[in-house]
Amino acid sequence: MSAGSVAYQMEQRPEPVRRAPLVSSGLLGMLIFIFAEVMFFAGLISAHTIVRAQTAGALWPPYGQPRLPVEQTAVNTAALLVSGIVLLLSWFAFRREPSSARIPLALSILLGGFFVYAQGTEWVALLGEGLTMQSSTYGGFFYLIVGTHALHAVGALAALGWAWARLNKGLLTETQLATVAAFWYFVVLVWPVLYIQVYL
Amino acid sequence: MAHTATAADTHHDAHAHEHHGPQGILKYLWSTDHKMIAMQYLFTGIAMGLIGAYMAYVFRMQTAFPGVNVPGFGQVSPGEYNSLITNHGTIMIFWVAMPVLVAAFGNFLIPLMIGADDMVFPRINRLSYQVFLLSAIVLIVSFFVPGGGFGGAWTAYPPLSAVAEYNQTNLGSSLWLLAVALEFVAFLLGGINFITTLMNSRAPGMRAYDIPLVCWMIVIASILFMLSVGPLIAGAVMLFFDQTLGTGFYDPARGGDPVLWQHLFWFFGHPEVYVVLLPAIGITIDVIATFARKKVFGYKLMLYTTVATGVLSFFVWAHHQFIAGIDPRMANVFTITTLLISVPIAELCFVIIATLYGGSIRLTTPMLWALAFMAEFLIGGVTGIFLGASGADIYFHDTYFVLAHFHYTFFPIAIIGTFAAFTYWFPKMFGRMMNDTLGKIHFWGTIIPFNIIFIPLFVLGIGGEHRRIYNYEHFPELAGEGMFMLRQIATVALLVMLIFQVVFFYNCYVSWKKGEKAGKNPWKANTLEWTTESPPPHGNWPEGLPNVYRGPYEYGHPDRKEDYWPQNQPS
Amino acid sequence: MVLLALAAVALVPDAAHACAVCFDGPGETRQAFFATTAFLTLLPLGMLAGAGAWLRSRARRLESEDVEKKQHPES
């Protein structure tokens, strides 16, 4: 032990220099936050799985509750996924020439906005058909899971809008775009999982 | 050279901004300096700790002397009793252990120990404390709303916590839950800061294995917290909706499942034990290395063991549901994992013992606290083996044995660990030495009564005494004279321990005002925080951030005249 | 360790269901609890492992870029 430790000290170290961070602080912080968010949605999915198993497959959706609009939501899902791809394109455009990212970034925000709007109209229709948070755990989980995702989507869209405004002023940095985009990718990629879990 | 660094430059904006900020008391609330935020967390945590101790005093009086008119409170009603025990647990874990061990010492130590001028996100750090303060205020408000504070135990199992007709505290339970949720948000923000700072702001030359173990431990604890808190937040949102909107997530009559909450709660709840344990172990090992004047035995072993503990801590949570009706096969798996996790913890204990072996030990007050941490925590760990075995747990579940067990773990963590850290870094925080004699009086006045409080509770638990009972006179087989005598011994010991805390506060005040000046490095320690002024000025090292040339525990090196070798000395 | 735990599961006979404190729901619920337990436990570890691997590969790449720069300072 002691011999080993002495050898370790004798080792010649290079003169200390400040290293560039492995991952920029903003992106790293966002990634840690996304990890926590993934676990949050994992908790919701687990809860949903257990309660769904409890009521036995045949009774899901429970008697008297409306069926969820699977097809219409599939269209919304596609819009959201395309938004994610467009954002990826805007990222590559930004790396080439920052100002060229304006249009794809705006398009991505619009597609995301369409998703939130379409989900909102779907909610209004379902509420009219008698599906509420109190009517059954089926409805409760639907509004809980889709609602928390919608909240995240709105937050992420606001962040993308902020990035777009900064881009127009020529102030947006690569780290800022990466940070904001990482959160939008999270919102986009978690949705198909939720869609399969809740709708199908 | 350090001033050319980009990371340092971005911080200066935030600092420059701060000097033009609000004045007076707002200056403290709106400070972005990591040391100021650490002090805010520390003092808020101590204040909440006093509230939690007062609650313990009131309900212990009721338990030992049923129906007594408690001085300073009056008669305790059953509802108040439930509310007191619930909030005592909640406060001690979420508003004392977490803010003091993780947030206060994390904020104070991480930038100073890794040679950074501040956290990576100073304003997120400030927001973290503000949200935390708000959560503390919401919790305190919940005691005084109509119906009183929440009384469904700190674990808040539904349906008791979900249905107002059962718990009788409609508003109190919602506010309690809201306060806990806000508190989690605060620590999410803080944890992001700790991890990012450790990754990106280290001093030039500081490699992964040059980071003091206490920083590693706090960061690993933060990672555990980040990864485990999500499901509980999900569960808490569902519980909140059950309480306020009338959903039925946990109501079996409407297709919900009450056991679901237990899973979501303990998925966080058990890693949470390690979230507060790891910083305490880190503090202990740093204090012990300094006062044993010896290199930590097996730095890498210690680090990897900690990681193993963190990994295993995700595999143990269902041991809290052994009698909640889970599948016995699952109970078996969790018995095995629960017993397994004692292996890395035992390894940490052996590392500490091996570090002590052959050292030239100085029994200062912080060293006494650190040694007491090991000794007392060991009792907590060993009694945990009984509870981890699912068969034995069927008997022990919800008795005072469980209660004594987790107080033997949490008290060393939250109180002894905090005192070790506080007395060790007091010179750095306030620039003056603490009075050693008063410190030792306080130490013995806390440790001896602590054991006299909780050893009788083990005996009572084996005797079948159930937890959370308002008046044991209503249970003939638990109301024997011998059992009441044990309860009274514990309560009297608690009073003695609380009285001795006065010595601590007196010592703090006297030392803060008139203590001997500490100088930069009163303990002759190696880590970077001892290379700057005490207390550290704004920006920590105004003359330039330090460089690092070696590991943090080079004590008693044979080639050197002095027995310590600070990390920032080139040779 | 996981293997050990799995082995323990396999060894336990169904007869253990005679236990007095086990009032679990129907088989489907039990399975759901099993599945979600495994899911929730393994997910954070998987994410950690993924993040660790990514950081490590990134560190290696940055290091090799550094070396290249030193070898060809003009590029």
- Position B116 in a domain: yes
Best mutation target, C2, C12, C30, C62, to test chain B (most B CBs within 10 A): C12
Q: In 10 A of CB B288, how many CB atoms?
A: 25
Average pLDDT over residues A42-64: 82
Q: C14 lies in a domain?
A: no
* Shortest CA distance from A59: residue in chain B: B255
What is the number of domains present in chain C? Answer: 1
CATH of the domain at B357: 1.20.210.10
Let me know if residue B508 belongs to a domain.
yes
> CA of B189: which chain A residue's CA is closest?
A33
A91-142 pLDDT, tens digit per residue, is 999 999 988 999 999 999 999 999 999 999 999 999 998 888 888 888 999 9
A25 to B120: CB separation less than 8 angstroms, yes or no: yes
CB contact under 8 A, A42 and C43: yes
Local confidence band at A56 (pLDDT 50, 70, 90 cut-offs): low
pLDDT score at A130: 87
CA–CA separation, B502 and B314 (whole Å):
39
* Optimal mutation site among C29, C30, C61, C69, interface A, most CBs of chain A within 10 A: C29
Task: Return the pLDDT at B389.
Answer: 85
Helix (H, G, I), strand (E, B) or coil at B432: strand
Interface test with C, best of B267, B329, B340 (most C CBs within 10 A): B329
Chain A CB contacts of C28 under 8 Å are: 53-54, 56-57
Contact A43 B204 (CB under 8 A): no
Q: How high is the pLDDT of residue C3?
A: 64
Three-state SS string over B34-96 comes to HHHHHHHHHHHHHHHHHHHHHHHHHHHHHHHCCCCCECCCECCCHHHHHHHHHHHHHHHHHHH
Give the residue from chain C lying closest to A42, CA to CA.
C40
- Assigned domain for B371 exists: yes
Distance of residue A181 Cα from the nearest chain C Cα, in angstroms:
18
Q: Give residue B292's pLDDT.
A: 94
CA C71 to chain centre: 41
Residue C36 lies in a domain: yes
Tokens of A145: 């899971």
User: Is residue B553 assigned to a domain?
Assistant: no
b/e per residue, B444-482, with b = 16+ CB within 10 A? ebbbebbebbbbbbbbbbebebeeeebebeeeeebeeee
Q: Long-range CB contacts (< 8 A, 24+ apart) of C13-19?
A: C16/B328, C16/B329, C16/B332, C17/B328, C19/B328
* Chains sharing 3 or more CB pairs under 8 A with chain B: A, C
How many residues belong to chain A? 200
Domain that holds residue B427: 2-531
Chain A contacts of C26, Cβ < 8 Å? 54, 56
Interface list for chain A against chain C, based on CB atoms closer than 8 Å: 20, 22-23, 31, 35, 38-39, 42-43, 45-46, 49-50, 52-54, 56-57
The confidence score (pLDDT) of residue A135 equals 85
CB contact under 8 A, C32 and A50: yes
Quote the pLDDT of residue B257: 86
Backbone angles phi, psi at B563, to 5 degrees: -90, 10
Structural domain includes residue B446: yes
Of A23, A39, A54, the CB nearest to C43: A39
**Residue C42 forms part of a structural domain:** yes
**Cα dihedral sign for B12, B15, B19, B21?**
positive
Cβ-Cβ contacts under 8 Å, C19 against chain B: 328
CB contact under 8 A, B336 and C47: no
**Residue C49 forms part of a structural domain:** yes
pLDDT for res B36: 93
Cβ contact B373:B416 at 8 Å: yes
pLDDT at B8 (0 to 100): 39
Choose the closest CB to C5 out of B267, B326, B337: B337
pLDDT reading at A196 higher than 80:
yes
pLDDT in tens, C53-74: 999 999 898 888 877 766 665 4
Q: Which residues of chain B have pLDDT under 70?
A: 1-25
Residues of A in contact with C36 (CB under 8 A): 45-46, 49-50
- In tens, the pLDDT along A155-195 reads 999 999 999 999 999 999 999 999 999 999 999 999 999 99
Nearest chain A alpha carbon to B190: A29
Q: Write down the pLDDT at residue A7.
A: 45
Contacts of A136 in chain B (CB under 8 A): 248, 254-255
- Flag if C36 and A46 touch (Cβ within 8 Å): yes
C1 chain-B contacts, CB cut-off 8 A: 312, 337, 340
Q: Which residue among C20, C24, C48 places its CB closest to the CB of B326? A: C24
Q: Nearest CA to CA, how far is B304 from chain A (Å)?
A: 17
Q: Across the interface, do B340 and C44 touch by the CB < 8 Å criterion?
A: no
Q: Which of A41, A54, A137, A196 to mutate to test the interface with C (most CBs of C within 10 A)?
A: A54
Distance from CA of B150 to the nearest CA of C (A): 28
Nearest-CA distance B506 → chain C (Å):
46
| Closest-approach residue (CA) in chain C for B263 | C37
Find chain B residues with C-beta within 8 A of C32's C-beta.
Answer: none
Q: Which of A1, A8, A39, A63 to mutate to test the interface with B (most CBs of B within 10 A)?
A: A39
Q: Considering only residues 129 to 168 of chain A, which have any Cβ-Cβ distance to chain B shorter than 8 Å?
A: 133-134, 136-138, 140-141, 144, 148
Number of independent structural domains in chain B: 1
Burial of B442 (0-12, 13-18, 19+ CB in 10 A): buried
Residues in A touching C35 (Cβ below 8 Å): 49
CB-based contact B230 A148, cutoff 8 Å: no
- In sequence order, the 6+-apart residues with CB closer than 8 A to the CB of B364 are B291, B423, B436, B523
Domains, in order of start, for chain A: 24-54+75-199 (1.20.120.80)
B249 to chain A: which residues are within 8 Å by CB? 47, 51, 137, 140-141, 144
Which range of residues forms the domain containing residue C44? Answer: 26-75
Instruction: Measure in Å the smallest separation between the Cα of B521 and chain C Cα atoms.
Output: 35
Q: Break chain A down into helix, strand, coil percent, rounded to 5.
A: 80, 0, 20
To the nearest whole Å, the CA of B71 is away from the closest chain A CA by 45
No. of helices (H) and no. of strands (E), chain C: 2, 0
Query: CB–CB of A56 and C39 under 8 A?
Result: no
The answer to whether A21 faces chain B, any CB pair under 8 Å, is yes
Chains that touch C (3 or more CB pairs under 8 A): A, B
Residue B122 burial class via C-beta count within 10 angstroms: exposed 0-12, middle 13-18, buried 19 and up? buried
Interchain CB distance below 8 Å, A50 and B257 = yes
C40 touching B (Cβ < 8 Å) = yes
For residues B219 and B282, is the Cβ–Cβ distance under 8 A?
no
Between B and C, how many residue pairs show a Cβ–Cβ distance under 8 A? 61
Which residue in the set B263, B325, B340 is minimally distant from C21, CB to CB? B325
Quick one: closest CA in C to B340, which residue? Answer: C1
Return all residues near B561 (Cβ < 8 A) that are at least 6 apart: none
